Amino acid sequence: MAFSKVLTAGPTGRRQWELSYVSEFASKFYSGDRFQTYVHLGRDPALGREEELQGDEANLLRVGMRWADLIIIREKELLVVEGKLRPGEYMTGLAQLELYIRLVPHTQDFLAYPQKDVHGILLIPLEDPVVAAMGREKGFRVIIWKPDWFQDFLASLTPRARRPSRSV
């Protein structure tokens, strides 16, 4: 799967930077494994109510579900990946990852993989030692990887939003 260096806007007129980030990461480093982006996690509120729901009502119930940026299904493990491009969102990514790991066992699509270990990965482009240490304490892998187009993304941010938080 090839990715253009110039990302085009999605249907909302907004560039899907993080979707491109995690998709390109999976294609580059996990090309032999199955993966899926924007995966709903947790119990599906429409499950078992198919007969009483009409048309798009089931989809409306799913709006409140959490979703992970990327799930990679490997032979012996499920990798839940949360990608954050903006340094100010790295800590949020850790909290989201913690929740997503807890939701995987309650997700219908992953009940078929009970033998697999579930691991969290925080994917970030800039090193942040505090976030990395906290991620490791929680048992997550913190991977620092910059796609080719990262400088274009960085240029779209304000100077303050371009740098990681300062260490204590």
For residue range 39-49, what is the model confidence (pLDDT) as tens digits?
Answer: 888 765 555 56
pTM value surpassing 0.85: no
Q: What token pair was written down for 90?
A: 């790295």
Closest CA to 33 of 85, 68, 81: 81
| Residue 60: pLDDT over 70 | no
The pLDDT, as a whole number, for residue 139 is 96
pLDDT tens figures, 85-130: 999 899 999 999 999 998 888 887 877 776 679 999 999 999 999 9
β-bridge mates for residue 77, sequence order: 117
More reliable by pLDDT, 114 or 137: 137
Please give the C-alpha separations between residue 151 and each of 6, 35, 56, 122, in angstroms, as whole numbers: 11, 26, 40, 20
Q: What is the pLDDT of residue 53?
A: 61
The structure tokens listed for 135 are 């991620």
The closest of 159, 160, 124, 153 to 141, measured between CA atoms, is 124
All domains of the chain, ordered by start, with CATH? 32-140 (3.40.1350)
